Amino acid sequence: MFGFILRRLSLLIPTFLGVSLVAFFFIRLLPGDPVLLLAGERGMSPDRYAELMHRFGFDLPLWQQFIYYFTDLLHGDFGTSISTKKPIFTEFFTLFPATLELSFCAVIFAVALGVPAGVIAAVKRNSWFDHTAMGTALVGYSMPIFWWALLLIIVFSVMLGWTPVSGRISLMFFFPKVTGFMLIDSLLSGKAGAFQSAMSHLILPTIVLGTIPLAVIARQTRSAMLEVLGEDYIRTAKAKGLSPFRVVAVHALRNALIPVITTIGLQIGVLMAGAILTETIFSWPGVGKWMVDSIFRRDYPAVQGGLVLIALIVMAVNLIVDMLYGLVNPKIRHQR
């Protein structure tokens, strides 16, 4: 197991190098100038402009800038934001709990609905449930995420007034940040209604962000389940006189979950991309919204650092998923 982790970690080095390269050069491909944007509409004198360019190091040749940036990265320095003058690392991890909370809820939502839906669809193959669930999954998967978000806002927030439109909690509540997770902090605050408010703010973003993973997980679970249900050991389980529920829940599901777990792991990257859109639409103060704002401000260090940090997180999650895989699948465990 230890050797496996070491091998996987060594594979991360080229990925890390690639991500930092891409992050550095792609933001510079965009037209626009961070220093000019910093000055705003009033503009600035050429002297002041040159001075600022020099201070941020933008007057150096590109390759030299990259080397400085990469050396800093290796030293654990993700740079300083141009617009806020705060270290990217601090900035990122101040906002990250909000994204994590949202992503976590979205994954829970996707798994809690997707796995049972896939299982039922497979067991009742070709039933109305199967057709409805898989049709809905296809629609969910194909829908543009921003459009789906706007649709939900119009129906549930504007027309029905059930949920708030944006933010993480109602402005009526103020309490100190403890964990950064609004659901936990609102409970800790002990203020009546705070938790409910945080919950109601979470519902729509969770649904929007969780829809694509939900669709993918449901379809993957169904196909994995169908394959497993035709296996010899399922016949053995039935021949033991087990109830149909036990055959499915104990004997089939565990085997079917092996490919599903891989899928869930792959969805983490999708989730990060989805978070950018979802957070922007719901004004969710997370990393995704911060990234979009940084791009608009051409805040090069923030975009570079943010991208690298997100990539590191996705890589770490995938590593954890691979280790989980071994827990579910004894065959993998013993190969290591």
* From 12-20, 80-88, 227-235, 313-321, span contacting another protein (CB under 8 A): 227-235
- Residue 322 C-beta-side C-alpha neighbours within 13 Å: 14
Question: Strand pairing partners for 87?
Answer: 80
Per rule CB under 8 A, is residue 128 in the interface with another protein? no
Binding mask 155-174 for another protein (x = CB under 8 A): --------------------
Among 27-35, 105-113, 237-245, 285-293, the segment contacting another protein (CB under 8 A)? 237-245
The H or E element spanning position 64 is helix 62-74
The pattern of x and - marking residues 292 through 331 that bind another protein according to CB under 8 A reads: ------------------------------------xxxx
Residues in contact with 301: Cβ distance below 8 Å, sequence separation at least 6, in sequence order: 69, 78, 79, 80, 81, 82, 88
- Write down the least CB distance from residue 259 to another protein, Å: 13
Are the C-beta atoms of 198 and 182 separated by less than 8 Å? yes
Report, in Å, the least distance between residue 5 CB and another protein: 22
Nearest to 185 by CA among 98, 117, 284, 250: 98
Distance CA 200, CA 189 (A): 17
CB of 330 to another protein, least distance (A): 5
The counts of H helices and E strands in the chain are 15, 0
Looking up tokens 């060594």, which residue turns up?
Answer: 10
End-to-end CA distance of the chain: 6
Q: How far is the CB of 334 from another protein (least distance, A)?
A: 7
- CB-CB contact of 149 with 274 (8 Å): no
In the complex, least distance from residue 221 CB atom to another protein, rounded to whole angstroms? 16
Question: Out of 72, 77, 231, 322, which residue is the one contacting another protein (CB under 8 A)?
Answer: 231
Q: Give the nearest distance from C-beta 336 to another protein in angstroms.
A: 14
241 binds another protein (CB under 8 A): yes
Residue 1 lies near another protein (rule: CB under 8 A): no
Interface with another protein (CB under 8 A): 231-233, 235-243, 246, 251, 254-255, 328-331, 334
